[in-house]
């Protein structure tokens, strides 16, 4: 990844809807050259996708919670992860070190829906218990990744 690639990634982090022509003007390349570079960055896995940010509250998802999962001694973490992937309320899921094996960010319409989700989680084979923290307010979210200094 060279300085031009870094500028392209930075520009896309700022405006993921920028056209190749706009990006080309920013970095001093033609649209086709930018297209080639972006394609290379995608194929290399540096750019993993493009998406719109939406308001969960306006979609009726007013409760955000962080849920940790403690696995039973005989649990198959991969099998548990497959089952977790099927639950639409789970927005993010991380496999972590510590007492809990998984940490998830979930969104539900209300506390009753969160309670029902917790009931479904505890019925997953291999889940020993959960620990839930309800988010009171969000200070910021979806902060773009900062590119490390070139070195």
CATH code, domain carrying 31: 1.10.10.10
Q: What is the mean pLDDT of residues 101-128?
A: 98
Instruction: Give CA–CA dist 147/13, Å, rounded.
Output: 10
pTM confidence score: 0.83
What mean pLDDT, rounded, does the chain reach? 94
Q: Is residue 24 part of a domain?
A: yes
Q: Is residue 48 part of a domain?
A: no
Taking only the tens place, the pLDDT of each residue in 12-68 is 998 999 999 999 999 999 999 999 999 999 999 999 998 888 899 999 999 999 999
Q: For the chain, how many structural domains are there in total?
A: 2
**Taking the CA of residue 149 as centre, how many other CA atoms within 13 Å lie in the half-sphere pointing to its CB?**
1
Tokens representing 124?
């997953």
Helix (H) or strand (E) holding 136: none
Q: Which domain holds residue 27?
A: 3-43
**What is the reported pLDDT for 142?**
77
- Same domain? For 36 and 62 the reply is no
- Same domain? For 70 and 20 the reply is no
**Taking the CA of residue 113 as centre, how many other CA atoms within 13 Å lie in the half-sphere pointing to its CB?**
15
Q: Is residue 145 part of a domain?
A: no
H helix runs in the chain, sequence order: 3-14, 20-27, 31-43, 77-85, 111-122
């Amino acid at each position: 990844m060279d300085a031009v690639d870094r500028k392209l990634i930075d520009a896309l982090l700022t405006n993921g809807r920028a056209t190749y022509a706009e990006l080309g003007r920013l970095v001093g390349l033609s649209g086709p050259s930018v297209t080639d570079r972006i394609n290379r960055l995608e194929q290399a896995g540096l750019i993993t996708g493009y998406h719109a940010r939406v308001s969960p509250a306006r979609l009726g998802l007013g409760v955000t919670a962080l849920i940790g999962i403690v696995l039973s001694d005989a649990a198959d973490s991969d099998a548990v992860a497959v089952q977790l992937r099927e639950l639409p309320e789970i927005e993010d899921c991380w496999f972590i070190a510590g007492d809990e094996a998984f940490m998830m960010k979930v969104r539900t319409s209300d506390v009753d829906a969160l309670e029902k989700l917790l009931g479904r989680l505890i019925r997953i084979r291999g889940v020993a218990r959960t620990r839930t923290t309800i988010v009171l307010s969000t200070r910021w979210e979806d902060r773009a990744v900062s590119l490390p200094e070139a070195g």
